[in-house]
Amino acid sequence: MTARSTNTGEGSGAHDPHRDIPEATVARLPVYLRALTSLAERNIASCSSEELATAAGVNSAKLRKDLSYLGSYGTRGVGYDVDYLSYQIAREIGVTHDWPVIIVGIGNLGQALANFSGFSSRGFRTVALLDAAPQMQGQAVAGLEVRPFADLAEIVAAEQVSIGVISVPATAAQDVADAMVGAGISSILNFAPAVLSVPPGVDVRKVDLSIELQILAYHESRKAAESAEAAATVDNGSEEGITA
Amino acid sequence: MTARSTNTGEGSGAHDPHRDIPEATVARLPVYLRALTSLAERNIASCSSEELATAAGVNSAKLRKDLSYLGSYGTRGVGYDVDYLSYQIAREIGVTHDWPVIIVGIGNLGQALANFSGFSSRGFRTVALLDAAPQMQGQAVAGLEVRPFADLAEIVAAEQVSIGVISVPATAAQDVADAMVGAGISSILNFAPAVLSVPPGVDVRKVDLSIELQILAYHESRKAAESAEAAATVDNGSEEGITA
DNA sequence: CGGAGTTTGTGACTGCGAGAACAAACTCGC
DNA sequence: GCGAGTTTGTTCTCGCAGTCACAAACTCCG
Ligand SMILES: NC(=O)c1ccc[n+]([C@@H]2O[C@H](COP(=O)([O-])OP(=O)(O)OC[C@H]3O[C@@H](n4cnc5c(N)ncnc54)[C@H](O)[C@@H]3O)[C@@H](O)[C@H]2O)c1
Ligand SMILES: NC(=O)c1ccc[n+]([C@@H]2O[C@H](COP(=O)([O-])OP(=O)(O)OC[C@H]3O[C@@H](n4cnc5c(N)ncnc54)[C@H](O)[C@@H]3O)[C@@H](O)[C@H]2O)c1
């Protein structure tokens, strides 16, 4: 996009664009990567933007624009090489090597996460499970021993962990986040329904099921209201030019 | 949907604005609601937009703008009454009464969801758990008996369910979604890493942990690249007087 | 070798959302 | 009762993101 080389020096390499990928695009790259993986599993070697867009559930123009932020990895008149593009996206995201991850709070949700195989297959490796409850400690979950919360800093340092998952009750979430940041973690995935405050430089993403359900409920209410209104309109006879 | 023309009458409420709340606002209303609930639990009867915004982790101007879409429920010079505003938001979202919900796929994640108390306390009631595996059926999870997937339509009709949760493997997700839609469900919360296609009028929201982690990984990579670059710059000479 | 057909990459346009700033409206003290 | 102080509701502006449309670049076939 607009080779604005007016940037300070920095003549890094053949493709300069590596700067400033829009956040909305970053959020879609993993979706494209998954679609590509799925194509590769079906032994499809190349695909058009149209095909990939369909597989990813987006508009093809948006897909092409997104990919153009990474560089020109397609061939006009042909399409994209599945393996090549996969690698380029993985490299851009930074999942060409595995990221060590720790999970704090091995309750209902934490155990499900620990047992989830989808993480390891997508560039993440759970290196430790931590919990504050004495009765949890030493128990084996998903082949890992649950360790005391106090070991956090030690583990983070030893394993060079930069990503942490919080699945403790909301009341404990801020404390855990503080401890994580103190131990050197700089990216947090938070499942607790709490607003975390962290210093600049630390990224937090939250996953909140209640919110998702409430958003669905809102739209559901509106749908109900709409059909009720439509019925009322029919009742009323004319009113509103919707009359047949 | 249907771009409605200037709706006439609609004398239901004192304020007419009930139309067209921006999607971004809808996504924040549940956050405000939770912050208000938290304030109410601490016996705080009223609050300013500034306080509420802090509790919800947003900008106060944005909060006021969001709330203004619902109507004028605050008092200038005073602030918002916590209970009153809570009720108004809950009413707008449509969670003044409980929504029946079913969960399909009672594996690792499905069991965690079934055991999760946070749903029931926020306007949702799990009325049935369904799974296709014979060995799951009849088992009790979270006080509910797991029922065969074939009972889906019957349950949806009997309990008037309009919201369904999918926590089956990705390969089965589309089939489950189709069955849900066929049974009359019109809102789906999907945990499977798959792109669902549904007819118009059906809402789908997805929760994808791998994507969240990959987004974090992207930013983490950039942070690493940045500090490496900074180090290189220091090597180069001036810039940042960290000259050791 | 050249033209037809295909598909990418990108510029232009549009609409939404975030944030700052301010007028209107309310309370409180005197 | 009135002015000072406070806080909401709204207006304005700016930037980001989505979509369209098309030129550039490639392949294939005659
Ligand atoms: N279970 C779900 O499906 C689900 C869904 C959405 C959100 N959540 C959220 O995820 C979080 C965990 O839910 P859950 O159902 O697993 O709860 P849980 O009570 O089953 O597990 C919480 C675990 O965290 C541990 N813990 C508590 N305080 C701690 C601390 N300070 N340090 C370390 N460990 C601590 C507890 O010992 C316990 O094992 C909650 O915030 C919940 O709201 C859960
Ligand atoms: N476990 C996690 O923490 C986690 C995290 C993120 C995403 N997910 C996703 O959630 C989904 C479920 O994960 P899980 O770990 O619970 O898997 P799981 O294998 O433990 O459970 C899946 C359940 O679905 C049932 N099932 C399979 N096909 C079905 C069908 N057609 N109809 C009805 N039921 C069917 C199975 O019998 C099983 O009980 C997966 O798509 C996974 O990628 C899980």
Domain boundaries, chain B: 23-93, 99-209
Exposed, middle or buried by CB within 10 Å (0-12, 13-18, 19+), for B162?
Answer: buried
Question: pLDDT by residue for chain B (244 residues), tens digit each?
Answer: 333 333 333 333 334 445 689 999 999 999 999 999 999 999 999 999 999 999 999 999 999 999 999 999 999 999 999 999 999 999 999 999 999 999 999 999 999 999 998 888 889 999 999 999 999 999 999 999 999 999 999 999 999 999 999 999 999 999 999 999 999 999 999 999 999 999 999 999 999 999 999 999 999 999 988 777 667 766 665 444 444 3
Q: Which of A93, A207, A221 sits opposite B94 (nearest CB)?
A: A221
Q: Is some CB atom of chain B closer than 8 A to the CB atom of A193?
A: yes
B51 phi/psi in degrees, rounded to 5: -65, -45
Instruction: Tell if A215 CB is < 7 Å from nucleic strand C.
Output: no
C-beta atoms of B189 and A223 within 8 A: no
The answer to whether residues B93 and A217 touch, using CB atoms and an 8 Å cutoff, is yes
Contact indicator for B31, B93 with CB cutoff of 8 Å? no
* Ligand 2 centroid, distance to B144 Cα (angstroms): 18
Residue nearest to nucleotide C5 (CA to C1'): A77
Residue B68 CA to residue B60 CA, distance in Å, equals 12
Percent of all residues in chain A with a pLDDT value above 70, rounded to a whole number:
86
CATH code for the part of the protein at A23-93: 1.10.10.10
Q: How far apart are CA A171 and CA B41, in angstroms?
A: 13
Chain A to chain B, count of Cβ pairs less than 8 Å apart? Answer: 185
Tell me the two tokens of residue B43.
């016996």
Domain range B99-209, CATH architecture: 3-Layer(aba) Sandwich (3.40)
Report d(CA A58, CA A98) in Å as an integer: 28
Which of B21, B124, B213 is the best substitution to test chain A (most A C-beta atoms within 10 A)?
B213
Taking the C1' atom of every nucleotide in all shown strands and the CA of B72, the nearest one is D9
- Between CA B35 and CA A121 the distance in angstroms is 37
Q: Which residue of B has its CA nearest to A212?
A: B205
Residue nearest to nucleotide D24 (CA to C1'): A76
CA of A78 to C1' of D29 (A): 16
Which of A94, A215, A223 is closest, CB to CB, to B186?
A223
* Tokens read off for A18: 């590596």
For residue B192, the model assigns a pLDDT of: 97
Q: Residue A201 phi/psi, 5° resolution?
A: 95, -15
Q: Which of B129, B147, B168 to mutate to test the pocket of ligand 2 (most atoms within 8 A of CB)?
A: B168
Contacts of B140 (CB under 8 A, 6+ apart): B146
> Is residue B11 a contact partner of residue B82, using CB atoms and an 8 Å limit?
no
Residue with tokens 């500090």: B227
| Chain A interface, best mutation among B29, B190, B209, by max A CB count within 10 A | B209
Pick out residues 137-156 of chain A having their CB under 7 A from any atom of nucleic acid strand C: none
| Predicted TM-score of the model (pTM) | 0.90
